[in-house]
Structure 1
Amino acid sequence: MQSREHPPPVRERHVGQLLPAAAQRHPEAELYYFSRDSSAEFRLSSYPELLDQALRVLAGLRHRGLRPQDRVLVRMDDAASFLPVFWACQLGGFVPCPLPPPAGSAEQAVAHHRHVHQLLGEPLLVTSERLAPELPGLSVATAEYLSDHSPSGELYDAAPDDLALLMLTSGSTGRPKAVMLTHANLLATMTAQTQARTLTAADVMMNWIGFDHVSALLEFHLLPVRLGASQLHVPSQVVLDDPLDFLRLASRHEVTTTFTPNFLLGLINTAHRQGPPDTALDLTRLRHVISGGEAVPCATGTEFLRNFAPSGLRSDALWPAFGMTESCAGIIYSSDFPDADAEHEFAGVGNPVQQLDIRICDTQGNSVADGGCGEVQLRGPMITSGYYRNEEATRSAYTSDGWFRTGDLGRLTDGRVTLAGRSKDTILVNGINYFSHEIETVLGQLGGITPSYVAAFPTRPDGSDTEQLVIAFHPQAAPDSEPSLHRALTAVRDTVVRHWGFRPALTIPLPREAFAKNSLGKISRTRLRARLEAGEFEDAIEATAAVMRRSTGEYSSPRTGRERSLVEIYGEIFGIPPASISATANFFDLGGTSLDLLRLRGHAVRRLGAPRLQTIDLLTAPTPRALAARLEEDSAGGAKTDDDYDPLVPMQQTGTKTPLFCVHPGAGEVLVLLDLARHFTGDRPFYAIRARGFTDGETPFTSHHEMISAYTRAIREKQPHGPYALAGYSSGGIIAFAIARRLQSQGEEVAFLGGIDFPPVLRPLLSGLDFSVTVSVLSHFLGFLDKKQSEELPAEIRGLPLRQQIRTVMDLAPAGRLAELDMDLEKFTTWMTLADSLKKVRAQYEPEGTVPSITIFHGASPPPLPVFNDVADHRAEQAWIDHLRHWDTYSATPARYIQVPGEHHTLTAPPHVTAFQALFRREIDRNMQDGPTG
Structure 2
Amino acid sequence: MKRYRTLTEALAANASDALSVTFIEGSQNEVTVTYRELQLRALRLLHVLQSRGLKPGDELIFFLRSNENFIDAFWACLFGGIVPVPVAVGISDEHRSKVFRIFARLQRPRLLTDAKSLQLLEAFAEAGGAQREYSSVRAQSLVLEDLRLGDTLGEEHPLEEDALAFIQFSSGSTREPHGVCLTHRNVLTTVVDLGHRAQYRSGDVSLSWMPLTHDLGLIGFHINMIVFGINQHIMATELFSRRPLLWLQKASEKRASLLSSPNFGLRHYMKMYRTRDDHDLDLSCIRMVMNAAEPISVGLSHEFLDTLSKHGLPRSAIYTCYGLAEASLAVSLPKPGREFEYVVTDRNSLNLEQSVRYVSASHPDAVRFAIEGPPVEHCRVRIATTDGRDLGQDVIGEVQLQGANVTAGYYNDREATQELFTTDGWLHTGDLGFLHQGQVVITGRLKDIIFVNGQNFYPHDLEAVALLDERLEIGKVAVLGVRKNDADHDDVLVCVLFRGELSDFAPIVKHVRQLITKQTGVEVTHVLPVRRIPKTTSGKVQRRLLADDYLRGEFDQVIADIGRLVAPAVEPPAEAVAHDLAALLKSIFDRIVAEKNVGAQDDFFEIGMSSLELAQIHEQIDANYPGMLDITDLFDHSTIDALAEFLRDKLGQSASADPGSLAASGGRSDRGAAGR
TM-score, normalised with respect to structure 1: 0.50
Give the match's secondary structure for 1:237: helix
Is the 1:32–1:43 Cα contact (8 Å) retained in structure 2?
A: yes
Partner of 2:9: 17
1:116 aligned residue (82, 87, 102): 102
Task: Report the CA distance shift for 1:400/1:471 in structure 2 as closer, same or farther (over 3 A).
Answer: closer
Q: Identity of aligned pairs, percent?
A: 25
CA-to-aligned-CA distance 1:39-73 (integer Å, 9 cap, x gap): 42111211111111101111011112222222111
2:653 to 617, 624, 633: 633
Q: Is the 8 A contact 1:22 1:228 kept in 2?
A: yes
Alignment deviations for residues 343-382 of structure 1 (CA, whole Å, 9 cap, x no partner): 4623121221111111001244311131111000111100
Cα distance in 2 between the residues matched to 1:555 and 1:546:
25
* In 1: Cα distance, 2:57 partner to 2:540 partner: 42
Can you list the C-alpha shifts for 1:471-512, whole angstroms capped at 9, x where unaligned?
Answer: 79999xxxxxx99x99xx999834877999999999xx99xx
Which piece of structure 1 moves more, 181-190 or 12-21?
12-21
How much does 1:608 deviate?
A: 13
Q: Which amino acid aligns with 1:632?
A: G
Deviation at 1:245, TM superposition (A): 2.0
Letter of the structure 1 residue corresponding to residue 530 of structure 2 = R
Q: Report what 2:86 is aligned to.
A: 98
Write out per-residue CA displacement over residues 118-159 of structure 1, whole angstroms, 9 at most, x where no aligned residue: 101251111224433334421111334445233326322211
Which residue of the other structure, out of 640, 664, 672, is the alignment partner of 1:615?
640
* Contact 1:333 1:351 (8 Å CA) reproduced: yes
Instruction: Report the secondary structure of 1:351's partner residue.
Output: coil
Match of 2:77 in 1: 89
SS of residue paired to 1:346: strand
**Residue in 1 aligned with 2:455?**
none
Distance 1:339 1:183, change over 3 A: closer
Report the Cα distance in structure 1 between the residues aligned to 2:164 and 2:176, rounded to whole angstroms.
Answer: 22
Mapping 1:217-256, distance limit 5 Å? 217-256=218-257
Query: Which of 337, 340, 353 is the equivalent residue of 1:338?
Result: 340
1:166 touches 1:180 (CA, 8 Å); kept in 2?
yes
Paired residue type of 1:195: H
Matches within 5 A, 1:280-359: 280-334=280-334, 335=336, 336-339=338-341, 341=343, 343=361, 345-359=368-382
Equivalent of residue 381 in structure 1, options 388, 404, 429: 404
Q: Is the 1:73–1:99 contact (alpha carbons within 8 Å) kept by the matching residues of 2?
A: yes
Query: The residue matched to 2:370 in structure 1 has which SS?
Result: coil
- How far residue 92 of structure 1 moved from its aligned partner, in angstroms, is 0.9
Choose 11-20 or 133-142, whichever is displaced more: 133-142
Q: What secondary structure is seen at the aligned counterpart in 2 of 1:100?
A: coil
Q: CA deviation at 1:163?
A: 0.7
Q: Which structure has the highest helix share of the two?
A: 1
Q: CA deviation at 1:172?
A: 4.6
How many Å separate the matches in 1 of 2:163 and 2:171?
A: 24
Tell me if 1:55 matches 2:80: no
TM-score, with length taken from structure 2: 0.68
How far is the alpha carbon of 1:411 from its aligned partner?
Answer: 0.7
Query: 1:55 and 1:405 mapped to 2: Cα distance?
Result: 38
Contact kept in structure 2, 1:597 and 1:618, CA below 8 Å: no
Which of 493, 518, 521 in structure 1 is aligned with 2:530?
A: 493
Correspondence 1:44-443 to 2 at 5 A: 44-105=32-93, 108-135=94-121, 136-137=134-135, 138=137, 139-152=140-153, 154-172=155-173, 174-276=175-277, 278=279, 280-334=280-334, 335=336, 336-339=338-341, 341=343, 343=361, 345-425=368-448
Give the conservation status (yes or no) of the 8 Å contact 2:318–2:339: yes
Question: Equivalent residue of 2:530, what SS?
Answer: helix
Tell me the equivalent position of 1:469. 478
- CA spacing shift, 1:284–1:424, aligned 2, 3 Å: same
Is the contact made by 2:294 and 2:538 (CA closer than 8 Å) also made in structure 1?
Answer: no
Q: 1:385 to 1:548 in 2, by over 3 A?
A: farther
CA distance in 2, matches of 1:119, 1:247: 40
Q: Which amino acid aligns with 1:124?
A: R
Measured after TM superposition, the shift of residue 607 of structure 1 is 9.4
Question: SS of 2:156's equivalent?
Answer: coil
Alpha-carbon distance, 1:110 to partner: 3.9
Contact (CA 8 Å) 1:601, 1:614: kept in 2 or not?
Answer: no
| 8 Å contact kept, 1:206–1:257 | yes
Distance 1:359 1:547, change over 3 A: farther
Distance 1:408 1:501, change over 3 A: closer
Tell me the CA shift for residue 614 of structure 1: 6.1
132 and 548 in structure 1: CA distance in 2 versus 1, 3 angstrom threshold = farther
Query: Residue 75 of structure 1: CA displacement?
Result: 1.4
What is the CA-CA distance between 1:15 and the residue it aligns to?
Answer: 1.2
Deviation at residue 232 of structure 1 after TM alignment: 0.5
Answering whether residue 463 of structure 2 is matched by residue 460 of structure 1, we say: yes
What is aligned with 1:574? none
Bigger relative CO (Cα 8 Å, ≥ 6 apart): 2
Q: Over alpha carbons, which structure has the higher Rg?
A: 1
Query: Residues of 2 paired with 1:505 and 1:544: CA distance?
Result: 28
* Paired position in structure 2 for 1:864: none
Partners of 1:496 and 1:548 in 2: how far apart? 31
Q: Post-superposition shift, 1:468? A: 2.9
Tell me the CA shift for residue 210 of structure 1: 1.4
Matches of 1:244 and 1:630, distance apart in 2: 22
CA distance in 1, matches of 2:30, 2:40: 20
Q: CA deviation at 1:414?
A: 1.2
Q: Deviation string for 1:673-726 (max 9, x for gaps)?
A: xxxxxxxxxxxxxxxxxxxxxxxxxxxxxxxxxxxxxxxxxxxxxxxxxxxxxx
Equivalent runs, 1:841-920 vs 2, <5 Å: none
Query: Deviation digits for residues 312-361 of structure 1, max 9, x if unmatched?
Result: 11111101111101111122113444355574623121221111111001
**Residues 426 and 114 of structure 1: CA distance in aligned 2, closer, same or farther (over 3 Å):** farther
Structure 1 residue 254, shift from structure 2 partner: 0.7
**Inter-partner Cα distance in structure 2 for 1:225 and 1:16:** 10
Contact kept? 2:341, 2:370, Cα under 8 Å = no
SS in 1 for 2:464: coil
Q: Could you tell me whether the CA contact under 8 Å between 1:53 and 1:147 is conserved in 2? A: no
Q: How much has 1:30 moved relative to structure 2?
A: 2.4
Report the CA distance shift for 1:419/1:70 in structure 2 as closer, same or farther (over 3 A).
same
Q: Is contact 2:168–2:179 with CA below 8 Å preserved after alignment?
A: yes
Distance 1:383 1:607 in 2: 41
**1:215-271 superposed Cα distances (whole Å, 9 cap, x missing partner):** 111111111111221111111122222332221111111111011111222233333
Structure 2 runs not aligned, ≥5 long: 122-133, 345-360, 362-366, 451-457, 468-472, 485-490, 492-501, 507-525, 554-558, 599-613, 657-676
* Change beyond 3 A, Cα 1:543–1:552: closer
Rounded Cα–Cα distance in structure 2 between residues aligned with 1:501 and 1:418: 20
- Distance of aligned partners of 1:225 and 1:423 in 2 relative to their CA distance in 1, 3 Å threshold: same
Distance 1:103 1:609 in 2: 20
Describe the shift of the 1:341–1:276 C-alpha distance in structure 2 as closer, same or farther (beyond 3 A).
farther
Structure 2 Cα separation of the partners of residues 98 and 471 of structure 1: 30
Which one-letter code corresponds to 2:447 in the other structure?
K
> Could you say which residue in structure 1 is the equivalent of 2:659?
none
Return the offset for 1:470.
4.5
Q: Matched residue of 2:274: which SS? A: helix
